[in-house]
């Protein structure tokens, strides 16, 4: 019996401080994205967008007068980095919610940690099938590629009605790419086109001679790529260098201007479906405010991953404000564990007017978004910079 006492004391000591955790002010929101590694091509854009959100939302009063503060944890590019970042944000930084990780591949590893800790996750760029299904605390504001990707194939057919023979390529070691390629292959079939070859690669590859040779041999007149930024950029470059002249459709991994330096002038004429367009600024004042602040800060216009990161921060901030309104109690007066659960529910109620348009998060955690776009990459004469030019709405 005597031996039990210290053990019991230990349990109580461990339990009491955890129970007593209140929400800190300014209100900490975790940002777990890839700030280093290859994934930083996306992550840098996300950091930029999130910082604009923090600045603009706090300037507008934060959560009814209480400021938010973003706590950044670099996930780098792999699963272990994401798991580590999530653990730090949940246990050490005591954030109210996590925005991240960058890749679906990382989400499948790290999101279960947040689920077990009952900490809400808002995915800013996870577009693979099955991400919200990871758990009750898992949501996203990034529309799944099952909804977005087919628009780009339809647009390719509009631009070139003679397209018949399609080559599909994807990164087989990446969850998003393997998921997106299924959507692309279904779209090809549904649109009455023929898949003449399916080629696999790795996100770490930089020599694509085998795949390009197969594409040329199959006489494809449309190439569809699902990969991340550096691999896809190099693949595009080698396709063009070895003589492929047809249209290229790129998936969400080619949705970043940070890919432009990889394929340079050869990035031109890639079609990409997007969940954001800077062109809506005239009819969307939230986007106008975001795009203006972004441009002032970074001397360039925002692209999709920045707009989605902004949106994620905005959605969390507004969901916090709703809790105060409904309970009449300040966020800082809540116990952290209770607040996280309430926030998870609040995120899923009502709608949000954001830079990516009006959205809501369904009870399942899946985003509902109205408008998608298809853009074509147009490179500038310098061969390094370029832009996504809207070709359809």
Q: Contact positions toward ligand 1QQ, by CB under 6 A?
A: 42, 102-104, 125-128, 176, 252-253
Least Cβ distance, residue 122 to ligand 1QQ (angstroms): 14
Cα pseudo-dihedral 294, 226, 244, 211, rounded to 10: 140
CB of residue 364 to ligand 1QQ, shortest distance in Å: 17
Cβ 339 to ligand 1QQ, closest distance in Å?
A: 28
Minimum CB–partner distance for residue 336 and ligand 1QQ (Å): 29
Nearer to ligand 1QQ, 76 or 196 (CB): 76
Report the alpha-carbon distance of residue 188 to residue 167 in Å, rounded. Answer: 10
Residue with Cβ nearer ligand 1QQ (49 or 253):
253
Select 196 or 235, whichever has its Cβ closest to ligand 1QQ.
235
* Residue nearest to ligand 1QQ as judged by C-beta position: 176
For residues 49 and 42, what is the distance between their CA atoms, to the nearest angstrom? 11
H or E element, residue 200: strand 194-201
Query: What Cα–Cα distance (Å) separates residue 167 from each residue in 164, 212, 224, 227, 324?
Result: 10, 10, 6, 14, 53
Question: Which tokens belong to 177?
Answer: 């790419």
Of residues 68 and 267, the one with the C-beta less far from ligand 1QQ: 267
- Asked if residue 76 lies in contact with residue 39, where contact means CB atoms within 8 angstroms, the answer is yes
Shortest approach of ligand 1QQ to residue 84 CB, angstroms?
18
96, 335, 134, 351: CA torsion to nearest 10: -60
Query: Which residue, 128 or 271, is less far from ligand 1QQ as judged by CB?
Result: 128
As measured in angstroms, the least distance from the Cβ of 262 to ligand 1QQ is 14
> CB of residue 88 vs ligand 1QQ: minimum separation in angstroms?
21
| CA nearest to 231, candidates 71, 361, 38, 50 | 38
Residues whose CB falls within 8 Å of the CB of residue 356, separated by 6 or more in sequence, listed in order: 141, 275, 276, 287, 307, 308, 311, 369, 371
Give the Cα separation of 176 and 128 in Å (integer): 5
Instruction: Return the number of the residue (28 or 150) whose C-beta is nearest ligand 1QQ.
Output: 150
Q: By C-beta, is 42 or 137 nearer to ligand 1QQ?
A: 42
Alpha-carbon distance of 37 to 132, in angstroms, equals 26
167's CB contacts (< 8 A; 6+ apart) are 195, 196, 197, 198, 199, 214, 215, 218, 220, 222, 223, 224
- Least Cβ distance, residue 229 to ligand 1QQ (angstroms): 8
For ligand 1QQ, give the closer residue by CB, 187 or 342.
Answer: 187
Q: What is the DSSP string of 219-271?
A: T-SEEEEES-HHHHHHHHHHHHHTT--SEEEE-GGG--GGGHHHHGGGGTTEE
Nearest-approach distance from CB 300 to ligand 1QQ, in angstroms: 19
């Amino acid at each position: 019996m005597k031996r039990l006492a210290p053990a019991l004391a230990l349990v109580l000591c461990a339990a009491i401080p955890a129970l007593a955790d209140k929400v800190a002010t300014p209100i900490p929101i975790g940002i777990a994205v890839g700030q280093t590694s290859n994934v930083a091509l996306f992550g840098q854009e996300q950091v930029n967008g999130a910082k604009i959100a923090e600045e603009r939302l706090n300037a507008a009063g934060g959560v009814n007068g209480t400021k938010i503060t973003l706590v950044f944890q670099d996930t780098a590019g792999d699963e272990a980095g994401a798991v580590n970042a999530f653990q730090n944000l949940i246990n050490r930084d005591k954030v109210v919610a996590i925005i991240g990780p960058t890749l679906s591949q990382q989400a499948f590893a790290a999101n279960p940690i947040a689920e077990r800790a009952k900490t809400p996750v808002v995915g800013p760029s996870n577009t693979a099938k099955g991400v919200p299904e990871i758990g009750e605390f898992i949501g996203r504001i990034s529309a799944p590629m099952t909804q977005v990707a087919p628009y780009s194939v339809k647009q390719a057919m509009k631009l070139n009605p003679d397209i018949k023979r399609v080559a599909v390529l994807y990164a087989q070691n990446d969850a998003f790419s393997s998921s997106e390629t299924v959507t692309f292959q279904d779209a090809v079939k549904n649109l009455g086109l023929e898949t003449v070859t399916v080629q696999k690669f790795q996100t770490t590859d930089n020599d694509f001679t085998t795949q390009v040779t197969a594409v040329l041999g199959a006489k494809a007149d449309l190439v569809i790529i699902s990969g991340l930024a550096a691999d896809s950029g190099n693949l595009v470059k080698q396709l063009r260098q070895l003589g492929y002249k047809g249209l290229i459709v790129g998936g969400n991994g080619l949705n970043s201007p940070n890919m432009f330096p990889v394929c340079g002038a050869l990035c031109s004429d890639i079609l990409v479906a997007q969940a954001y367009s800077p062109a809506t600024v005239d009819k969307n004042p939230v986007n106008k405010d975001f795009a203006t602040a972004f441009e002032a800060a970074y001397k360039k216009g925002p692209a999709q991953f920045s707009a989605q990161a902004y949106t994620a921060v905005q959605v969390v901030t507004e969901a916090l404000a709703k809790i105060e309104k409904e309970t009449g109690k300040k966020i800082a007066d809540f116990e952290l564990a209770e607040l996280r659960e309430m926030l998870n529910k609040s995120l899923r109620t009502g709608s949000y007017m954001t830079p990516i348009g009006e959205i809501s998060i369904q009870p399942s955690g899946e985003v509902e978004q109205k408008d998608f776009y298809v853009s074509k990459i147009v490179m500038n004469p310098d061969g390094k910079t370029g832009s996504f030019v809207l070709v359809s709405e």
